[in-house]
Structure 1
Amino acid sequence: MWLKLSEEIEKYVRPDTFPLGIRVLDKGESVPDKTKRPAKDFGVRISICQGITMSRRYGWTLAMGGEDLSCPIAKVAFGFEENLPFYSEGNLACGMYAENMEAAKKTEEDVPKFLDDESGIILVGPLSRISFEPETVLVYGNSAQVMRMVAAALYKRGGSITSSFSARADCADIIIRTKQTNEPQVILPCYGDRVFGQTHDHEMAFTLPFNRSQEFIDGLSGTQKGGVRYPIPTFLQYQAKFPPSYEKLNQMWNHS
C-alpha cells in the first residue's frame, strides 16, 4: 500500500523531494537491514530534522534513537532523556522564543511529547523504498502542494484540518502529534528545521496517518476529477487590457 500511495502522491502532488514513511519502533522491534544510524555510520549526532532532510533528499532510510540525537528538545519530546526542571521551566526558550520565563514555560508545555510507553527508535525513509509499514506519511512541498493534499484528505469527510504552529520543534508536530491524534497535520517548518535541516523558505509539509491511506488516495483522484489540481490551473479565457496607445492602434484597425 505504501508504494501505491507514493505513486499517487508523485502523480497528483509532484513534490520535489521523496514522500516519506515514518515509524516509531515498539520495544523489541528490530531496525531493518541497510538502515543508516547517524552516530555509528556518520560519526556525528544529528537533529531529527536533519535526518528527515537526508531521507527526503538523498533517498536514505535512517533510524534515530537517543544516542543518535543532538537536539535537546527532541530528546525530551521523544522520551530519550528525562524532562528536567531546567527544560520544563523554560530556560531553552526564554530570550530567544519568549520574552520571559512564564511565556517560555508555556511554550515548552505545548511541545507534543511521547509518554514512556510510546517512545522508541524513529525510522524514516522514502515511501517508495522502505521495507517497513509506516505509521505516518510526510510530504514536503510548497503551499499550493500542501493545499492540494489538504483537499484530498478532506474529500471523504469534509470539514477542515486543525494544526498548531509554534515556530519550533516541528519534528514533534510531524511525528508525535500526528501519531497521538491520528489526524492529518499541516506543518510549518520550524527555525531549527531551516537552520539544521536546511529546509527552504518556500517549503511547508503535510502529514497523514498511514491508516488513512486509501481514503487519501481516493481523495487525490476525486479532487482531481473535481478540478482541484497541481500545478494550479489559471483562468486564461479573458481579453487583456493594454496601454492607451496600444488600444488606439487597435481602434484604428477596427475602423479602417
Structure 2
Amino acid sequence: MHEAPAPTAIDGAALADALLRLLRLKTPPVAMQMFAHADDMQAIERLRRPQGMVHTADQIVGQAARLGFTVGITADDLVGPQCSAVLGLSPRSEEWLRGEPMAGVWFATQEDSAAHQQAMTCAPYGRWQAMAASPLASGRLPAPNIVLVYANPAQMILLINGLQWSGYRKLEWGAVGESACADSWGRALATGEPSLSIPCFPERRYGGVADDELLLALSPADLAKAVAGVEQLARNGMRYPIPPYGVQMDVRAGMARSYGGKKV
C-alpha cells in the first residue's frame, strides 16, 4: 500500500485529450487537489465557492465533471461529516463511526450501520483544510493529488488494461456500498492506489453520475502510465469501441489477431 499521493504537476490538457481520443469518454476527467491551508486554494484561477449553499462532495465533483466548473470547498460547505470525513476534512468521530442516521434506512440494524462506517476508507484527518475539483483539461489546479475518470465498463477495462500494460500487477478493489466515494477518491487519497468504484445512489442522485458510469480515481502518475498503455493497446488493435465479433462466428481469425501476437 502506498502513502497518500502528493500533489503532482502534470500536462492535464494532454492527458485529457488522449483519454477523450482513445476512449471517447462522455464525461471529461476531473482533477482533485487537496490544500493544507484554505487560503492557498483561494489563489486558484476562476475558483467558485458555494456562497452560502450546502452541497455534497458528489455535487462538487459533479459541477467540475458535468458543468466544467472549478469549485473549492472546506468542511463547512459540505452537508455533513459523511462527505467531509471521506476527504479527510473532518475526523471520523465516535458519532460518525456509529452511523446512526443510516440504521433502518440503508442498513437493517445499528450494528450493520456501524460496520459500514468502519469499512469506509477515508483520507487522513489533519493533513488538509480544503479541496478543489476542476476539469483536468483546464489546467487550473497546478498539482492535483488524484484524477477522477468516469467511464462505461468497456472504456474502463481498456483503461485498466493500459495501466497493466507494463509493470503488471493484479488490481483489487472492494465495494463499501452506500458512500461509494470512500471506494474511489477516499481510498485513492488515503493509499495512493488506483481505486475503482461503482458510484452509489447519492453520487447518481446528487452528482449527476450516469447509469452506465463507473469511477476510477488514480494518481496523475498512474493516469499517465495508463494512457501510455492504452496508446500501445490501440496500436495492437485493442481499441474502443470494441466491435462485436458475433456469437456464432468462427472465432479463430479474431483470436489470432487479439491473442496471437499480430498487430493490426
TM-score scaled by length of structure 1: 0.84
Does 2:69 align with 1:60? yes
Contact 2:33 2:145 in 1 (8 A): yes
Contact 1:61 1:130 in 2 (8 A): no
**Which residue does 2:117 correspond to in 1?**
108
**Which residue does 1:75 correspond to in 2?**
84
Give me the identity figure in percent. 21
Q: 1:77 to 1:148 in 2, by over 3 A?
A: same
| Partner residue of 1:29 out of 30, 34, 40 | 40
Does 2:41 align with 1:15? no
Whole-Å separation in 2 of the counterparts to 1:66 and 1:192: 18
Q: Displacement of 1:82 after TM fit? A: 4.5
Contact 2:124 2:190 in 1 (8 A): no
Q: Aligned residues, how many?
A: 237
Q: Deviations over 1:179-235 (max 9, x none)?
A: 222221212101111121132211111122112243222111111122322111222
Q: Displacement of 1:146 after TM fit? A: 1.1
Whole-Å separation in 1 of the counterparts to 2:179 and 2:226: 26
Between stretches 3-12 and 115-124, larger displacement belongs to 115-124
Aligned runs of 1:162-241 on 2, under 5 Å? Answer: 162-235=172-245
**Which residue does 1:252 correspond to in 2?**
none
Q: Deviations over 1:86-135 (max 9, x none)?
A: 32123132112222122211100111223233333111111110322212
**Which residue does 2:6 correspond to in 1?**
none
Gaps of 5+ in 1: 241-256
1:152 is paired with a residue whose SS is helix
Whole-Å separation in 1 of the counterparts to 2:139 and 2:187: 22
Q: 1:172 to 1:120 in 2, by over 3 A?
A: farther
Between stretches 170-179 and 230-239, larger displacement belongs to 230-239
Whole-Å separation in 2 of the counterparts to 1:226 and 1:201: 30
Whole-Å separation in 1 of the counterparts to 2:128 and 2:178: 20
**Which residue does 2:96 correspond to in 1?**
87
Whole-Å separation in 1 of the counterparts to 2:41 and 2:73: 13
Whole-Å separation in 2 of the counterparts to 1:218 and 1:102: 45
2:147 is paired with a residue whose SS is strand
Contact 1:93 1:107 in 2 (8 A): no
Q: Displacement of 1:23 after TM fit? A: 0.9
Q: Displacement of 1:36 after TM fit? A: 0.6
Whole-Å separation in 2 of the counterparts to 1:183 and 1:84: 25
Q: 1:30 to 1:119 in 2, by over 3 A?
A: closer
1:159 is paired with a residue whose SS is coil
**Which residue does 1:47 correspond to in 2?**
56
Q: Displacement of 1:238 after TM fit? A: 7.3
Q: Which amino acid aligns with 1:174?
A: S
Aligned runs of 1:101-180 on 2, under 5 Å? Answer: 101-131=110-140, 132-180=142-190
2:149 is paired with a residue whose SS is strand
Contact 1:23 1:122 in 2 (8 A): yes
Q: RMSD value over aligned CA atoms?
A: 2.2
Contact 1:113 1:172 in 2 (8 A): yes
Q: Which amino acid aligns with 1:141?
A: A
Gaps of 5+ in 2: 1-10, 251-264
Q: 1:205 to 1:114 in 2, by over 3 A?
A: closer
Dislocated runs of 4+, deviation >4 Å? 236-240
Whole-Å separation in 2 of the counterparts to 1:78 and 1:44: 19
